[in-house]
Structure 1
Amino acid sequence: MLQEHAKIVDFIATAEGVTGRKKLQKMIYIMKKLDIPFQEKYEFHIYGPYSEELTARVEELCDMGFLSEALEDKGSYVQYKYDVTTEGQEFRKVLGKSILENPLTAGKLNSKSGRFLELTATLLYFDNLNRQEQLAKLHVVKGKLNFTAVEIEESFAFIKELKSQ
């Protein structure tokens, strides 16, 4: 059981911290779609793929002192920042080695905005469909976000880049 917790700590450590709950959800989902062995189950939710299991594990990791959770008041919302604590770095060693074959992937994901990751995760959620059907689904479930053709092409290119690593 704690192996799955250690994978999350390892990922956040490799990413050098993650700012935003939604962003963390999308980053882990994208990694899972890249065949990184995260076990959390995802369902489609308001902001795209979402895992209650991941939310619970992150809360448990904070309670155990392996992750720190800092809240930043942004006026109309609160943003969360997750970092690995010293105890978390020790706990991470449970894995033996990182689950990421290419640690640069975590940094690449972390450099993207939550909006871009939501788009990318949503496209990946519908990756069993052909491109035209994916776009149609995207416009149905994310129509209010008004993703531009440029953003969508950048997301498809990013997915291709991640899969080629």
Structure 2
Amino acid sequence: MFKDHAKIIKAISVAGEVAGRKKLQKIIFIAKKLSFPFQEKFAFHFYGPYSEELTLRIEELCNMGYLNEVREKKSGYYQYCYTITDPGIDFLSMHELEMPALQGCLLDMNMQNARFLELVSTVLYFDSLEKEEVVEKIFTLKSKQKYTHEEIDEAYAYIEQLKEKAKLN
């Protein structure tokens, strides 16, 4: 049970700080699709892939004092930032987690904006479909985001870059 909690702590630890709940959801989903051993189940939701399990784990980890959640007021909304605490570092030291390529992938993803990660995670969610079908789904399901063909091509290229980084895993 706590091994899955430790993986979430490890992800936030190697990322340094993750700003935004949506961003955290997308980072973990993308990492899972890159074959990192995250166990949370994801379903397609309003903002792309979403895991209720991940939301509950994050809440538990904050309640146990292993993660710090800070609510920051942004222009018209609140954003939640996550960092590991000292008890979280101690907890992590009790678990053997061999994911050597995780840090490079997560640091890279953490530098991207949430909108782009939403696109990348949506592409990966529908990765069993042909590219043309994925593009059609994006234009239908994500019409409010107004993604362009160029952004979709960038997402596909970015996925390939991440797959190369993840090969060390």
- Would the TM-score normalized by the shorter structure come out above 0.5? yes
**Structure 1 residue 149: Cα displacement:** 2.0
1:1-165 to 2 correspondences below 5 Å: 1-165=1-165
TM-score (norm 1): 0.96
Aligned-partner Cα distance in 2 for 1:64–1:99: 24
Offset at 1:131? Answer: 0.6
- Residue 23 of structure 1 aligns to a residue whose secondary structure is helix
Identical counterparts, % of pairs: 47
Structure 1: segments with no counterpart, 5+ residues: none
Deviation at 1:74, TM superposition (A): 1.5
Q: Give a deviation string over 1:98-126, Cα, whole Å, max 9, x none.
A: 43434211100000000000000000000
- Verify the 8 A CA contact 1:7 1:95 in the aligned structure 2: no
The alpha-carbon distance between structure 1 residues 39 and 130, as it changes in their structure 2 partners (threshold 3 A), is same
Q: Distance in 1 between matches of 2:59 and 2:100?
A: 22
Greater shift in the superposed pair: 87-96 or 6-15? 87-96
SS of 1:39's equivalent in the other structure is coil
CA-CA distance at 1:52 after TM superposition: 0.2
Indicate conservation of the 8 Å contact 2:36/2:102, yes or no: no
Q: Secondary structure at the match of 1:92?
A: helix
**Range moving further from structure 2, 13-22 or 91-100:** 91-100
> Partners in 2 of 1:128 and 1:102 — Cα distance?
24
Count of aligned residue pairs for this structure pair: 165
* Higher mean C-alpha deviation, range 59-68 or range 148-157: 148-157
For 1:102 and 1:46, the matched residues in 2 are separated by 27
Q: 105-114 or 149-158, which moves further after superposition?
A: 149-158
Task: Give the gaps of 5 or more residues in structure 2.
Answer: none
Q: CA deviation at 1:95?
A: 2.4
Q: Give the superposition deviation at 1:163.
A: 1.1
Q: What CA RMSD, in Å, does the superposition of the two structures yield over aligned residues?
A: 1.0
The one-letter code matched in structure 1 to 2:62 is C
CA contact (8 A) 2:12 2:18 kept: yes
- The letter of the residue matching 1:2 is F
Partners of 2:150 and 2:131 in 1: CA distance: 15
